[in-house]
Amino acid sequence: MLTLSRSVTRAASGKEPLPPAFASWAAQGIRPRRASVSMLAGIPGSHKTRIMLNALVNMGVPTLAFSTDSDMDTVSSRLLAIATRHPTTVTEEWLRTKPAQCAQHLAKYDFIRWDFRPDPTLDDVWHGLYAYHETEGRYPDQTVIDIASDVGHDTGDEWGSLRDLMRQAKVIARETGTHLWLVHHCSDSSSTKKPCPRRADIHGKVAAIPELIVTCGTDANGALYAAPVKNRHAKASADAEIKIPMHLDAETSYVGDHSEPLVSAYVTPGNGWNQQGEDW
């Protein structure tokens, strides 16, 4: 057992904030923290995976990612698209025709370790963390499960498995010190709030465990928004009244702060992608 006076004097004893996922989120107090659980939720087609992928790139910390919803080629083509602002239709072709060059430029994202099995169990998640610790000598700063409801269906009860995951999520975060991101679904019905669902719209009523919950979605014009519906460290609105506009370029899988200046749709020569005269 510990006394608080002793524990707070130990190095890194607190839930240290990680680098911001987006500057606009940080301005609203949305700062993922080590040893805690966060959730990103939205209806199908609300760009959850694109948001998460850009967040991981921006944060740049050692990460273990369980991608149940997207396979290796999809994630690779999206990362290439984010890096180069070329459409994924182009980067998908690069994976087939220029694999060596793709590998060279994807190496900048090797701070993310991937597991692409579509139906991992809770044991798989724990074993993945143990394996990471075995090879790196430490647990990852961040762990991502996209999609949470895909984890562990041994009993055939999706909601029971989801509740098991939520109970284990807190244990995973506290025992390993990792920040655990869970990507999850919201109900898609006429009563679901648009563009960003309310906290009550989250599937399975599993909002109790995460310290931070952000919902996301698009309006009738296709504009993307994010909303903090739970945040133990800053202001939030369970009814998604705090909406943060985001810049979305779905063609290149890029999500950024709305205030960012528009970037060229294509990378110019001389920045590392076309220095050898290749037609990239």
Domain 16-257 superfamily per CATH:
P-loop containing nucleotide triphosphate hydrolases (3.40.50.300)
* Residue 232 to residue 252: CA distance in whole angstroms: 33
Residue ranges of domains in the chain: 16-257
124: its two tokens: 């798989």
Q: Is the dihedral of CA 155, 156, 157, 159 positive or negative?
A: positive
Instruction: Pick the more confident residue, 185 or 279.
Output: 185
* Residue 75 to residue 96: CA distance in whole angstroms: 14
Residue 232, SS3? coil
Which residues is 180 bridged to in the sheet?
37, 143
* Residue 12 to residue 28: CA distance in whole angstroms: 24
Among 69, 178, 184, 46, CA closest to 120? 69
Among 130, 194, 255, 8, CA closest to 263? 255
User: Taking residues 201-227, what's their average pLDDT?
Assistant: 95
Q: What is the mean pLDDT of the chain?
A: 88
Query: pLDDT of 181-195, one tens digit each?
Result: 999 999 999 999 999
Q: What is the pTM of this model?
A: 0.88
**Tokens 């290439």 belong to which residue?**
80
CA atoms within 13 A on the CB side of 268: 2
Choice among 141-150, 185-194, 243-252, 271-280 with the minimum mean pLDDT: 271-280
Whether 181 contacts 144, CB under 8 Å: yes
Query: pLDDT of 247-262, one tens digit each?
Result: 999 999 999 999 754 4
83: its two tokens: 């890096």
Label residue 276 by pLDDT band (50, 70, 90). very low
Whether 151 contacts 108, CB under 8 Å: no
